[in-house]
Structure 1
Amino acid sequence: MSTTERPTTRTRRWVRRVTRTTALTAVLATFAVVVPDSTVAPTEVTFVKVERAKGVDLSPDVVWILAIGSDARPWENKIATRADALQMVGINTKTGAATAIGVARDSYVDIPGHGRNRINAAMTFGGPQLQARTMAALIGIEPDYVMVARFEGVEGMVREIGPITVNNPYYFADANLKKEGFQPGKIKLSWYDAMAFSRIRKGLRDGDFGRSANQQRVIRGIHAKIVEKQREPGFIEGGVAAVLKHTHTDASPAELYRIAQAITQVKSNKITTCVIKGSIGQAGAASVVFPDVATARRYGDDARKDATISRC
Structure 2
Amino acid sequence: MFTQQQLTAILSSLPDPAFILTRSGRYTEVFGGKDARHYHDGSALIGRSLFEVLKDDKARWFAAEIGKALECGVLHIVEYELSGSDVKGAGDGPSEPIWFEGRVRALPFQVDGEDAVVWVASNITEKNDVERKLRELSETDALTGLYNRRKLIETLDHRMQIFASEQSQTSVLIFDLDNFKRLNDERGHHAGDSALIEIARLCRENLRQDDVIARIGGDEFVIVMPDLDCKDALAIADRLRKQVSAELRESLRYESTISGGVSEFSQPDRFSSDILKRADEGLYVSKRAGRNRVSAC
Q: Which has the higher helix share?
A: 2
Report which of the two structures shows the higher radius of gyration computed on alpha carbons: 2
Structure number with greater CO (CA < 8 Å, separation at least 6) is: 1
TM-score of the two chains, using structure 2 as the length reference: 0.25
Whichever structure has more strand as a proportion of its residues is: 1
TM normalised by structure 1 equals 0.24
